[in-house]
Amino acid sequence: MRLFLLTLVILSFFNFKLKACHGLALVNVSYTISSTGITISGASDPATCGCGPYWMQAIVSTDTLYPVAPSTLVQSYISSGAGGAVVYNSFPWYHSLLNVPNYTSASVWPDECTVEPYHDVFIPFSDLTCGGVYYFSVREWLGGSAGMPPAGPWTAPVSFTVPGNPGQDLSFSLNTVQDTICSYDTISISAVNIVNGPITNYNWSDGAGTTSTVNVSPNITTSYILTASNGGGCVFADTLTIHVLPILNPNFIPSNPIICTGDNIIFSAVGSPSLSSHYWSFNPNSGFTVNNSTVTPTPDVNFNSAGNYAVTHTISSMGCSYTATTNVIVNVCTSIKEESDEAIAFFPNPSSGGIFNITYPKHFEGNIDVEVYDLMGKTVFVKQNISDHKIQLNELLGVYFVKITSNKQMLYFIKIVIE
């Protein structure tokens, strides 16, 4: 019985070591100090596994009497995974998540019970006072668990001095005419309300520029950060988010149709048809009749004159407009001509089964090309230099157009029906 109890104690001990549902001492801790802040690296102890999420937690203070824990609001946020972020900062607390593949709440915070790195913690000098003397320490913190204590031990405090002359703290704010734009619009962002300037160095995120004013053209909602310094060596940063409205889709059908004079087409908006504003335009602006309206999602248009028309659909919402354009080819469709020396005919029309006869003057023999198009203008059949008088289109069904040419000059154009 004693041996059994001893075995349980040993197994419990090893199980505790393998899965520690609380913070442990960090390993491989290092840091670097740059002109803009402090970067801290570290890793977990092998027993840091199970439970989760695990964070590397840093604190900055003017002395080494640190608070026991962050506020309950900060604890709640990191316990739930910080909304999927791998870093979370709330001065004077700075956090970075364990850097493990697929380390999410949905995957129940997986880890390997080995030494695993954390994402780096970055403490920006812009959060601190120019010329001020501070201390930082880091530890491991377990969120989402009732395990006590949730935190591992603090590392030894490290003292550092923020660059810059005391009393010359730089500050400014970012300003723009409007912070909500259409996709691919260009907007200017400027640093204004500068205190303790002038600014001697500008550094915008995303490579936006190195001047006080930059022009940006985001296609998705983007946050721009300006980190700047003044002549006293003090650093400050501010963030401005440019919200980008959803891209509208003005696409419509049919596209690139071929028709005969007198035919009508009903165009249908298929991209974003439910939006409030539609407008249709035609170039040239004559030779057609709109039977309903140019501001409906489905205009009904009769094309009365032959030619090539550019049809443009413009869709607008919340001040954003986007366009789509297609071409309509309108031909004078030739009927079956009366018998004559110059007669060209393509019959029967309609055809049951897609077998057509073609007649043409004898001097065109061997120098006739036949092309067949569908209603969208796609070529579906080509036969060149024909010398017979029969065309087989038995694989087609519906309405098509036939163009007959000789030496690239159109001789004949007709709409056909295959039943």
Percent of the chain with pLDDT over 90: 60
- Domain 345-418, CATH 2.60.40.10 — does that match? yes
Question: Of the CATH numbers 2.60.40.10, 1.10.8.60, 3.30.70.260, 3.40.50.300, which one belongs to the domain with range 15-161?
Answer: 2.60.40.10
**Non-local CB neighbours of 361 within 8 Å, separated by 6+ positions:** 341, 342, 343, 344
Q: How confident is the model at residue 148 (pLDDT cuts 50, 70, 90)?
A: low
Q: Is the pLDDT of residue 139 over 60?
A: yes
Please tell me the predicted confidence (pLDDT) of residue 53.
Answer: 93
Please tell me the predicted confidence (pLDDT) of residue 227.
Answer: 94
Superfamily of domain 252-331: Immunoglobulins (2.60.40.10)
Element (H, E) at 7: helix 2-18
**Non-local CB neighbours of 234 within 8 Å, separated by 6+ positions:** 130, 131, 163, 164, 165, 168, 169, 170, 196
CA distances from 326 to 192, 267, 290, 371 (A): 46, 11, 17, 22
From the CA atom positions of the chain, what is the Rg in Å?
37
Please tell me the predicted confidence (pLDDT) of residue 149.
Answer: 65
CATH number of 171-244: 2.60.40.10
pLDDT tens-digit readout, 3-22:
444 343 333 333 333 456 77
Please tell me the predicted confidence (pLDDT) of residue 3.
Answer: 42
Domain ranges of the chain: 15-161, 171-244, 252-331, 345-418
pLDDT tens-digit readout, 59-109:
999 999 999 999 989 999 999 899 999 999 999 999 999 999 999 989 999
Please tell me the predicted confidence (pLDDT) of residue 74.
Answer: 92
Q: How confident is the model at residue 145 (pLDDT cuts 50, 70, 90)?
A: low
Element (H, E) at 2: helix 2-18
Is the fold of 171-244 the same as that of 252-331?
yes
Q: How confident is the model at residue 192 (pLDDT cuts 50, 70, 90)?
A: very high
Q: Which of 138-152, 319-333, 405-419 has the lowest mean pLDDT?
A: 138-152
Say how many C-beta atoms besides its own lie within 10 A of residue 110's C-beta. 14
Q: Is the pLDDT of residue 279 over 60?
A: yes
Percent of the chain with pLDDT over 70: 91
Please tell me the predicted confidence (pLDDT) of residue 1.
Answer: 41
